[in-house]
Amino acid sequence: MTQRAGFVALIGEPNAGKSTLLNRMVGAKVSIVTHKVQTTRARIRGVAIEGEAQIVFVDTPGLFRPRRRLDRAMVAAAWGGAADADIVVLLVEAHRGRTAGVDAIIETLRERVAEGRTVALAINKIDRVKAEALLALSADLNDAYPFARSFMISAERGHGVDDLREWLAETLPEGPWLYPEDQIADLPMRMIAAEMTREKLTLRLHQELPYELTVETEAWEDRKDGSTRIDQIVYVARDGHKGIVLGHKGETIKSVSQAARAEIAEFLGRPVHLFLTVKVRPGWLDEAERYSEMGLDFRDGD
Ligand SMILES: Nc1nc2c(ncn2[C@@H]2O[C@H](COP(=O)(O)OP(=O)(O)OP(=O)(O)O)[C@@H](O)[C@H]2O)c(=O)[nH]1
Ligand SMILES: [Mg+2]
């Protein structure tokens, strides 16, 4: 059999389930997932193998109308991911249907994604609706855009995901594999570890706060005794936020740290000592270095 390989970009509105699908395809949690919108900030690649095909999934930040600098960088990363891919999969939430946001994405797909590029539709979260509604939604969306194929899936429960993966494998171009056989992600471990901590913080905190914080891995030491020491900084934009992140008597940061440590240790397969420091940095949302740590492009004047 001939080898196949290529990039499959997952795009859609915030919260559509792109990261959940990527993790399921890869079989490991390489991209963080929360119930909140705008969880993914950068392009994250995860590798899946199906028969003789190596499918490199590109998770992207959700597409929406950007206003702030970070929003613009995220949306630019998402469209950049789609432009570079061999196949684009648009995820639409079954229970929300054809929203204005979905229409806006379809319009941009027409303008920005080269003619002849394969674009598939995946209606996700089918566990939340009745089957009849799905057929009508699929027909409606196929009227709006000439999708190469339509799938109905539940990324969370796994329905329909095997069909999608098989179709992607046979549709990718022939060519040698792009990554070593045992590699599942191309994000540096220090970034995955920072993302895991950001996920736990996002789950714990409320309202706008998660948006205004970022996590960076400062130091990483694999020790002789088989454990790893990781130091991370949580940057917050305002003085008042520091106290919220720390919590009463440091309880919030302590429980976040425990949850993150357990997950990082499981991923690495070795004991982890995690040290979190919270720093107030009022201007971080306008600092180029913070963006490069996240894998985003920072453009002056944005
Ligand atoms: N019921 C149901 N929920 C799902 C399914 N797939 C994902 N979710 C949930 O939807 C929420 C968002 O999932 P994510 O994977 O973070 O979505 P995303 O598209 O990556 O979101 P952003 O990174 O913010 O753009 C999470 O609470 C998931 O558990 C599904 O098939 N069914
Ligand atoms: Mg995501």
pLDDT digits 0-9 by tens, 146-202: 999 999 999 999 999 999 999 999 999 999 999 998 889 888 899 999 999 999 999
Q: Percent of the chain having pLDDT more than 90? A: 87
Centre of ligand 2 from the C-alpha of residue 12, in Å: 10
Centre of ligand 1 from the C-alpha of residue 72, in Å: 21
Strand runs labelled E in 82-190 = 87-93, 118-124, 150-152
pLDDT digits (tens, 9 = 90+) for 260-292: 999 999 999 999 999 999 999 999 999 999 998
Q: What pLDDT score does 301 carry?
A: 56
Q: What pLDDT score does 188 carry?
A: 87
In this predicted structure, the answer to whether residue 92 has a pLDDT above a threshold of 60 is yes
Identify which ligand lies nearest to the alpha carbon of 15. Answer: 1
**In the predicted model, what is the mean pLDDT of the chain?**
94
Q: How far apart are CA 13 and CA 61, in angstroms?
A: 8
Please state, in angstroms and as integers, the Cα–Cα distance from residue 2 to each residue in 69, 172, 176, 184, following that order.
44, 11, 9, 21
Mean pLDDT, range 27-49, rounded to an integer: 93
Comparison of pLDDT for 157 and 299, the residue scoring more: 157
In this predicted structure, the answer to whether residue 302 has a pLDDT above a threshold of 60 is no
Centre of ligand 2 from the C-alpha of residue 237, in Å: 22
Q: What pLDDT score does 185 carry?
A: 87
Q: What pLDDT score does 193 carry?
A: 96
CB 86 within 8 A of CB 121: no
- Give the lowest-confidence range in 123-132, 190-199, 234-243, 291-300: 291-300
In this predicted structure, the answer to whether residue 114 has a pLDDT above a threshold of 80 is no
Mutate to test the pocket of ligand 1, among 11, 13, 29, 33 (most ligand atoms within 8 A of CB): 33
Q: Answer whether 156 contacts ligand 1 (Cβ < 6 A).
A: yes
Ligand 1: residue whose CA is nearest its atom 2: 125
Identify which ligand lies nearest to the alpha carbon of 152. Answer: 1
The minimum-distance atom of ligand 1 relative to the CA of 159 is 31
- Give the lowest-confidence range in 80-94, 116-130, 201-215, 253-267: 201-215
Centre of ligand 1 from the C-alpha of residue 74, in Å: 17
Q: What pLDDT score does 166 carry?
A: 98
Q: Which two tokens stand for residue 74?
A: 């995220």
pLDDT level of residue 57 (50, 70, 90 thresholds): very high
Pick the closest to residue 125 from 165, 83, 156 (CA basis): 156
Q: Answer whether 124 contacts ligand 1 (Cβ < 6 A).
A: yes
Q: Answer whether 39 contacts ligand 1 (Cβ < 6 A).
A: yes
Please state, in angstroms and as integers, the Cα–Cα distance from residue 23 to each residue in 18, 123, 233, following that order.
9, 17, 26
Comparison of pLDDT for 25 and 132, the residue scoring more: 25
Furthest C-alpha separation in the chain = 61
Mutate to test the pocket of ligand 1, among 10, 11, 13, 15 (most ligand atoms within 8 A of CB): 15
Q: How far apart are CA 268 and CA 226, in angstroms?
A: 11
Q: What is the DSSP letter of 284?
A: G
Q: What pLDDT score does 182 carry?
A: 87
Q: Kind of pairing, strands 118-124 and 87-93? A: parallel
Q: Which two tokens stand for residue 57?
A: 């999934």
pLDDT level of residue 139 (50, 70, 90 thresholds): very high
Centre of ligand 1 from the C-alpha of residue 179, in Å: 27
